[in-house]
Chain A
Amino acid sequence: AQSVTQLGSHVSVSEGALVLLRCNYSSSVPPYLFWYVQYPNQGLQLLLKYTSAATLVKGINGFEAEFKKSETSFHLTKPSAHMSDAAEYFCAVSSMNRDDKIIFGKGTRLHILP
């Protein structure tokens, strides 16, 4: 069985500061990992995904994430936060097994302080 844990339901950073949103996963087989963003009154949009190619994955809006197998982590980062980054972020895990559905974390709400 797979699982995903997002550390911190709320994270606040100052505008221009580094954004770090943490995600740890559990999977008995090589995972596929995703980060989604949800802006107010909208559905989830894909930020980036890891599917066993490069371990450092670049996404939209300047975000990137690094797959670290030894730490079972897939943390999301952005060097400089912008006010428009305020949203809820979801980490998700799946695998090549047909029986493994995509599992979403509980989400982290990112607040940007002026």
Chain B
Amino acid sequence: EAQVTQNPRYLITVTGKKLTVTCSQNMNHEYMSWYRQDPGLGLRQIYYSMNVEVTDKGDVPEGYKVSRKEKRNFPLILESPSPNQTSLYFCASSPAIVSNQPQHFGDGTRLSIL
């Protein structure tokens, strides 16, 4: 089954404790992206990657890091999480950067930073 898998689905942690949210897709997609979803703000893009070893900032990259060492994986790293990063996070992938291709989304990771 074609899917985007995120882990963990839920995480409660404390300020300053480094964490990684993993994302993996099994569709051989070139393009992957991370979003955060906050009430009243919709989806905002954090980082995206057009292919292996190619990443770029989205609209709200501060406080986040990503890497793309393999085509299927695109982890999101919070080196020193803060309470304002409490949010619902989604990973998405699509066949290419070509913009008429829909994105496939994971089920989300709800992060709470205390």
Contact = CB atoms under 8 A, between A and B. Distances in A.
Given A32-B99, A94-B99, A102-B99, A43 B41 contact: no
Nearest to B94: A102
Contacts of A51: 100
| Main DSSP-derived SS at the B contact region | loop
Nearest to B40: A106
A101 B45 contact: yes
B108 interface: yes
Chain A contact residues (Cβ within 8 angstroms of B): what range?
20 to 34
Contacts of A42: 107-108
Contact of B4 (A43, A100, A107): A43
Contacts of A102: 99, 103
Nearest to B58: A101
Contact of A101 (B40, B48, B90, B100): B48
Contacts, number: 54
Contacts of B92: 43-44
A22 to B, nearest CB: 15
Contacts of B97: 98
B100 A43 contact: no
B14 interface: no
8 contacts: A34-B102, A41-B107, A43-B105, A49-B100, A96-B98, A98-B97, A101-B48, A106-B41
